[in-house]
Structure 1
Amino acid sequence: MKFDSINPYNGEVVGSHKETTKVELTKILDTAEKTFEEWRKVPLGERTRLIAKAGQVLRDNVERYAKVMALEMGKPIVEARAEVKKCALVCDYYAENAADFLADEIIKTDASQSFVRHNPIGCVFAVMPWNYPFWQVFRFAAPTLTAGNTGILKHAQNVFGCAAMIEEVFDKAGYPKGVFQNAFVGHDKTEMIISHNAVKAITLTGSERAGSAVAQLAGKYLKKSLLELGGSNAFLVLADADMDKTVATAVNARMMNAGQSCIAAKRFIIEEKVYDEFVDKFVKAVIELKSGDPMEENTQIGTLARIDLAEGVQKQVKESVKKGAKLLLGGKQKDAYHEPTVLGNVKPGMPAFDEETFGPVAAMIKAKNIDEAFELSQMSNYALGISVCTKNVKKALEYVDRVDDGAYFVNELVKSDPRLPFGGQKNSGFGRELSRDGMMEFINRKTVYVK
């Protein structure tokens, strides 16, 4: 069996990858386990040198790696280049900070010595999505491998070309064979991998459904799991917000990567005093966005990654309109392309409010005041991130403790940063990536006590 990568813009096959057989998969797992015993002994200074070199490999090959992203999942080439460069930054971050993060943690007790030693745990199995095919992998791999673990990647089937390129990055950087390996397999091999003794933990970024399935397997085999799942982020526009700046931020927050991001703003909750002004300016700004071939420099909106994904978004739009939402812009879909769409008069009970819309669809929701705006923001099964736009920063900070979300951004779109922990609550998953937290997720924090 083989997996074809299909360009969602024109339907052409841009790559073909042979499925990893069970025999080959067993070898990959055995290799990861064996390699770990040697890799964990490699001095941290050498591991940080290698992750820094991986960052340089990324910078040296920006165009090659960006092109495969654009071809495989329709990301505009300009955004794809930025993604590769961001991956290099996360490599730099852990190269510079791993020694501090992994240093012994001295704790005073009645012992003559007591401290926490940070040891790697073994092989970490990563199940990764297609929407940010390089970034999602590197934000797991950079801290995990630098800590002394090995990794096995099962990427989304439509971006196996990206997976091959990522393995190439680590090979070119000089990593020992077996530290990072790909497995070109479908979901049917997931349990075989998780059940193997080599695998000590699982990290998954993906859908709620995928996260639930993997979490069940992790529990069955008593393996630690980290889940980064969906989101339906609220973007609050308060009456005193700087409207022009807020609109520019809002359009970027919703339409980047054609809206295919867990942390994209999806529900725009606007105080009624400025609702009409914000919606009018937002629609006008979206009209100016250029759709087209992801490989062209001036394209801002590409296709969705697959036809079925665009069809799913179209179904949500039609059902929301049927339930009373007003179609203010767009609304049409052809093949993998979905027009940038703005829905007004969105209320709880509509798919555009209740569900995660993974595409270029903005839901406009009117709130009577700031308190109702925050109440509406929390009417969701997801709790990944929230943006609050206002000139009164002090007032905005008073509401931080009222929300369940894992991120609270004032006058900015929710975004991931290597220096800050990233993760959500509720149906958005559990655990944290990035910063020190991301490295500690796959570490044995070993207590050492000397009487």
Structure 2
Amino acid sequence: MYAVTDPTTGEVAELYPTASDAEVEAALTAAAHAAATWGRGSTVAERAALLRRLGDLHQEHSEELAASIVREMGKPLAEAEGEVGFCADIYHYYADHAEEFLADEPLDVTSGPGTAVVRRSPLGVLLGIMPWNFPAYQVARFAAPNLAIGNTVVLKHAPQCPATAALLERLFTKAGFPEGAYVNVYATNEQIADVIADPRVQGVSLTGSERAGSAVAEIAGRHLKKVVLELGGSDPFIVLSTDDLDAVVDSAVAARLDNTGQACNAAKRFVVVRDLYDAFVEKFTARLLAGATGAPLSSVAAAENLGRQVDAAVAEGATLHTEGERHGAYFPAGVLTGLTTDHAAARQELFGPVAMVFPAADEDDAVRIANDTPYGLGSYLFTTDPAQAERVADRIEAGMVFVNGVGAEGAELPFGGIKRSGFGRELGRPGTEEFVNKKLIRTVA
């Protein structure tokens, strides 16, 4: 189940055995012990120091981590290096702000004499289920705030990323986290169902597919466990006006080709007002095809699935603008035009370097098209009118809106969505608020 498969060749380079039931139990036991001792017995400052060291180690081992990511899922090397750098920023951010975020919060008492505070304390053991497309970053944004709180982490990584998973666990240990604070486990789906049900586990965070999210939420709900879900996305990129179409097109290409198009919050549906549509499509198509990274998708199966979606869209009447041939895990960049929101593809997530472009009659029509999706993760809005930017950003149904820019995520900014893109937030101060006991302490006299 856990294997390093070179996406450029399809050859299996390494196999990792799945965990035995005894190994899963040992992971839970260690995590529970660490939660009861280290998690509740250490100070925020002590935990922050470990996070700072972990961030430093990501910088020191950047080359090794990036090479592992490239090897397992085919990410362009420069992007893999950028991912590792972002991880270091995240660990350092929580090292810098943990004490501020977790400080006691005094409350104004109006119901009688005395004082009251909200004290933030750990819940205990958390399960993280992580995807393959950002093997280090996804772990960082889940683990960093929760380790700062004093929660402990049992981490099930994607079966495509066992070597990166093992390397990350070694870095946590090297940083000084005690045994059980962060435990990697090569568990099966059946074992994970049992882990979610285990009374020692207090919450679950999953980044992945809708199918996986629904399955995890169902099990967690039966056992009254808090869940954070970051699922799929089909983010709109709305162009309403511009005084520099070339710059907007450059941003559009960057937004679509991030991680070879395999990012949940990559722009996937481009909604352009009619007076800019023809010029946008011409420039965007030329630059998207020229700007393709040449990297493979994560697997042959991923390329085959994208191919089925594109072929179905063409069969429904869409026009595909592309060059090159599909082979193995390699998928040529392309642009689909002639679509409406009635097409099935318009309501799907295309996970790869293929963009869908929709003409919009005006602002209202653009908002209608942008919101006509089961997803609600991120969105991008380009306009020269500040009042329009504020108005439209408020109308977009998504967890995030980026105005006149792409690649603007940061460790200090919350990340998450609505609708079928999931619920809950990671990063920023909200990242410390999901799995924490906000305990009221009321003193009357």
Q: Name the TM tier (shorter chain).
A: over 0.9
Q: Helix, strand or coil: the match of 1:204?
A: strand
- Cα offsets for 1:398-421 (capped at 9, x unmatched): 122212200111111265321111
Q: Which moved more, 1:346-355 or 1:253-262?
A: 346-355
- 2:153 maps to which residue? 151
Between the aligned partners of 2:324 and 2:389, the Cα distance in structure 1 is: 34
- 1:262 maps to which residue? 264
User: Aligned match of 1:306 in 286, 299, 314?
Assistant: 299
Q: Which moved more, 1:126-135 or 1:325-334?
A: 325-334
Between the aligned partners of 1:231 and 1:349, the Cα distance in structure 2 is: 18
- 2:368 maps to which residue? 375
Q: Which moved more, 1:396-405 or 1:137-146?
A: 396-405
Q: Given that residues 422 and 434 in structure 1 are in contact (C-alpha distance below 8 angstroms), is that contact kept between their aligned partners in structure 2? A: yes
Q: Which moved more, 1:105-114 or 1:375-384?
A: 105-114
Amino acid at match of 2:232: G
RMSD: 1.3
- 2:394 maps to which residue? 401
- 2:12 maps to which residue? 13
Q: Given that residues 241 and 384 in structure 2 are in contact (C-alpha distance below 8 angstroms), is that contact kept between their aligned partners in structure 1? A: no
Between the aligned partners of 1:122 and 1:353, the Cα distance in structure 2 is: 41
TM-score (norm 2): 0.97
- Cα offsets for 1:101-157 (capped at 9, x unmatched): 000000011341101000000011000000001000110001011110100111110
Q: Given that residues 386 and 414 in structure 1 are in contact (C-alpha distance below 8 angstroms), is that contact kept between their aligned partners in structure 2? A: no
1:161 aligns with 2:168: no
TM-score (norm 1): 0.96
Q: Given that residues 230 and 422 in structure 2 are in contact (C-alpha distance below 8 angstroms), is that contact kept between their aligned partners in structure 1? A: yes
Instruction: Say if 1:449 and 1:195 are closer, same or farther in 2 by CA, change over 3 A.
Output: same
Between the aligned partners of 2:15 and 2:348, the Cα distance in structure 1 is: 33
Between the aligned partners of 1:265 and 1:440, the Cα distance in structure 2 is: 28
- 1:417 maps to which residue? 410
| Residue correspondence of structure 1 range 333-348 to structure 2 within 5 A | 333-348=326-341
- 2:67 maps to which residue? 67
Q: Helix, strand or coil: the match of 1:88?
A: helix
Between the aligned partners of 1:152 and 1:415, the Cα distance in structure 2 is: 30
- 1:137 maps to which residue? 139
- 2:315 maps to which residue? 322
- Cα offsets for 1:380-434 (capped at 9, x unmatched): 0001111111111221111222122001111112653211111110000011111
| Residue correspondence of structure 1 range 200-349 to structure 2 within 5 A | 200-240=202-242, 242-289=244-291, 300-330=293-323, 332-349=325-342
User: Aligned match of 2:128 in 126, 144, 147?
Assistant: 126
Runs (4 or more) in structure 1 with deviation over 3 Å come to none
Between the aligned partners of 1:115 and 1:404, the Cα distance in structure 2 is: 35
Shift of 1:5: 1.2
Shift of 1:198: 1.7
Shift of 1:172: 1.2
Q: Which moved more, 1:96-105 or 1:335-344?
A: 335-344
Identity rate of aligned residues, in percent? 39
1:23 aligns with 2:25: no
Between the aligned partners of 2:161 and 2:199, the Cα distance in structure 1 is: 28
- 1:297 maps to which residue? none
- Cα offsets for 1:8-64 (capped at 9, x unmatched): 111232322121100111111011111111112111111000000000000001110
Between the aligned partners of 1:422 and 1:254, the Cα distance in structure 2 is: 18
User: Aligned match of 2:114 in 107, 112, 115?
Assistant: 112
Shift of 1:187: 1.3
Q: Given that residues 126 and 201 in structure 2 are in contact (C-alpha distance below 8 angstroms), is that contact kept between their aligned partners in structure 1? A: yes
Between the aligned partners of 1:161 and 1:354, the Cα distance in structure 2 is: 35
Between the aligned partners of 1:213 and 1:309, the Cα distance in structure 2 is: 21
